[in-house]
Structure 1
Amino acid sequence: MALDVDRYLDRRRLKRSRGWWRIVAIFSILVIVGVGFGDFDQLKGRNHVAVIDIKNIIVDDPDRNARLKKIAADPKAKALIIRISSPGGTVVGAESLYYFLRLVGERKPVVAIMQELATSAGYMVALGADHIVARQSTITGSVGVLMQSTDITELLGKLGIKPESVKSSPLKAQPNPFEPFSKDAREVTQLIISDIHTMFINLVAERRKMNKTKATNLSNGRIYSGRQAFANGLIDSLGGEEEARQWLVTAKGIKKDVPLKKIVIQRDRHLLREILGDIVGKTMFSSRLRLDGLISLWHPVFR
């Protein structure tokens, strides 16, 4: 009889324990959901300076673009600081980001802070700011565009493999790894590269207020230290966040006591799955080959 009572009490304790852990689990889930989708922003409704980090490879990002549109329309966001640490990325990604930074810049000041690296497309993004700050040892510049391909026809021949294709015209699907890069295709491709490079040079000349000849000479693909970039007029000042805030004070009257607000881009869950699937599906290739279209990139290393 005593044994039955003990069993009964043990069952009751187990049920209570399970019930308690269920409550804890549900509460934890609610907290996680609240943090992910709720708004616990202490600066909501207060004046602030928005801060967005641009890191690693730059690609077109609809979620980030949408967030920048909100910043442009938010009367409480008195300015925008972008912190850039990127070797570059796709030309379209940088062009798109530049466009939305200028959209913000039409309504409030935008400052770019270059960190370790802001080259190629990373520099194009910085051109979207009204004021550019970099450390003396920051690496920037590398203004240029490239398209890369690989000719593996000789390797395939040694393996006894002969690729065959039927095309509507000789320039279709050129360049590609499975046939030699023809002279005509190379000329057409070079025209595209040169056209986009000219667009980049014009952007440098316009935003840095320099003549076309100087902009062209500085846009030969070479990199610059922050000191060299400052001496050549590619950036406005040397320093970091303190100097960026000081410029906002002296040039725009935005005091340093206006708090910074780091903007976290809320990602569409379906988009995340697509991006993850795309990366996983291409892991056998280098990081360069995960970039589609024209790229503006220097030393593409992921952190």
Structure 2
Amino acid sequence: MDTDPDMVLRATSLRRQLLFWRGGAVAFFVLACIVAIACARGGGWTGQKPHLAHLKLAGVIGANEQDNVDAIQKAADDATVKGLLLEVNSPGGAVTGGEVLHDAVAAFARRKPVVVSMGSVAASAGYMVSVPANRIFANRSTLTGSIGVILQSPDVSQLLDRVGVHVDELVSGPMKGQPSVVQPLSPQGREMLQGVITDLYGFFVTVVADGRHMPVERVRQLADGRPYTGQQALGLGLVDQIGSMADARQWLLKTAHLPTDAPVTDIGPEAARLNWRHWITGLLSAVPGGEILLKESSALDGAVAIWKL
């Protein structure tokens, strides 16, 4: 037997690599089978049993929210979906993203009941998305409201002057270069941009007034950009009830005339990401060499390690 230390280490390394790739091949084969079965069943696991759909909106709302919009529309068209539990934990984001999500939730609410459960924050565009719901639940400490629009444009022209850099900017009209990072905002440009903000703000106020059945002037009094706690929002009529996700779920089950043990199915891209992670983790932990893959992924991606904990 060859007892050379280098040869022993090399042989051990080769065996480990072989085990790694064998485990990975088996895992991905099984995963492909699971995906094929899921697709054959239409992407769900509830069959034809009446159930609720749960959509989680977390983090900053982007300008492109088409995946979430598609998930809401698909749930609305599914006869076995009897209601939507919308979990919102977002500080807001793009006005366009908030608008399309708002419209999708409103369209769903015209056909089936929708309840919103607010997390630690559901403000600005996060609140815009919530207002079409039939009922809004918030925690006492939830930060919501912040009804308004903001546009920021940095100006580094003075910094460039200090370092001796001059930028020539050629535009087809006086408003084309407004705002500009390399030129100060002109009075005309400020007036033009304020008009854009005012128009978007008017849209925001209108959707809140429609969704909360409040006079527009009353909403304008509340819509100076400030956030409200859930307790404050309740007194102002911006939310309906102080309660948890479980409270919101029970309300929706009762409203949809479903039993208390009716299933709740996660929908949307966030649910798909979590399902993939669950499947991969479960598969890799059950095949030879899987523990190596899990350790490697933990070392490479701290977020995955935190999620597994």
TM-score bracket for the superposition, by shorter chain length:
0.7 to 0.9
Is the contact between residue 56 and residue 86 of structure 2 (CA under 8 Å) also seen in structure 1? yes
Q: Kindly report which structure 2 residues correspond to 1:1-303, keeping only aligned pairs within 5 A, or say none.
A: 24-35=23-34, 38-39=37-38, 41-59=44-62, 60-265=64-269
Look up the SS of the partner of 2:96 in the other structure.
helix
Residue equivalent to 2:290 = none
Shift of 1:25: 4.0
Taking only aligned residues, the RMSD between alpha carbons, in angstroms, comes to 2.8
Structure 1 CA distance for aligned equivalents of residues 87 and 120 of structure 2: 10
Is the contact between residue 67 and residue 268 of structure 2 (CA under 8 Å) also seen in structure 1? no
Instruction: After superposition, give the CA deviation of every residue in 1:16-44 in whole Å (9 maximum; x if it has no partner).
Output: x9999876543211123344565184323
After superposition, the Cα gap between the structure-2 partners of 1:122 and 1:21, relative to the gap in structure 1 and judged at 3 Å, is closer
Structure 1 CA distance for aligned equivalents of residues 18 and 155 of structure 2: 64
Further displaced range: 37-46 or 26-35: 37-46
Instruction: After superposition, give the CA deviation of every residue in 1:232-257 in whole Å (9 maximum; x if it has no partner).
Output: 00001110122212322444423322
After superposition, the Cα gap between the structure-2 partners of 1:216 and 1:91, relative to the gap in structure 1 and judged at 3 Å, is same
Q: For this pair of structures, how many residues does the alignment match?
A: 257
Further displaced range: 135-144 or 250-259: 250-259
Instruction: After superposition, give the CA deviation of every residue in 1:133-169 in whole Å (9 maximum; x if it has no partner).
Output: 0001100010000111011110000000011011111
Residue equivalent to 1:7 = none
Is the contact between residue 248 and residue 255 of structure 1 (CA under 8 Å) also seen in structure 2? no
Look up the SS of the partner of 1:58 in the other structure.
coil
Shift of 1:182: 0.3
Structure 1 CA distance for aligned equivalents of residues 123 and 20 of structure 2: 51
After superposition, the Cα gap between the structure-2 partners of 1:122 and 1:19, relative to the gap in structure 1 and judged at 3 Å, is closer
Query: Given the two structures, how large is their TM-score scaled by the length of structure 2?
Result: 0.76
Shift of 1:264: 4.4
Shift of 1:230: 0.4
Is the contact between residue 123 and residue 140 of structure 1 (CA under 8 Å) also seen in structure 2? yes
Q: Which has the larger helix fraction?
A: 2
Instruction: After superposition, give the CA deviation of every residue in 1:82-133 in whole Å (9 maximum; x if it has no partner).
Output: 1111110000000011111122212211111000000000000111312110
Query: Given the two structures, how large is their TM-score scaled by the length of structure 1?
Result: 0.78
After superposition, the Cα gap between the structure-2 partners of 1:76 and 1:179, relative to the gap in structure 1 and judged at 3 Å, is same
Shift of 1:266: 8.0
Structure 1 residue ranges without an equivalent (≥5): 1-16, 269-303
Look up the SS of the partner of 2:136 in the other structure.
strand
Is the contact between residue 245 and residue 256 of structure 1 (CA under 8 Å) also seen in structure 2? no
Structure 1 CA distance for aligned equivalents of residues 140 and 66 of structure 2: 33
Structure 2 CA distance for aligned equivalents of residues 216 and 22 of structure 1: 62
Structure 1 CA distance for aligned equivalents of residues 59 and 265 of structure 2: 21
Amino acid corresponding to residue 31 of structure 1 in structure 2: V
Look up the SS of the partner of 2:92 in the other structure.
strand
Shift of 1:200: 0.6
Residue equivalent to 1:272 = none
Amino acid corresponding to residue 208 of structure 2 in structure 1: V
- Percent identical pairs in the alignment equals 33
After superposition, the Cα gap between the structure-2 partners of 1:193 and 1:18, relative to the gap in structure 1 and judged at 3 Å, is closer
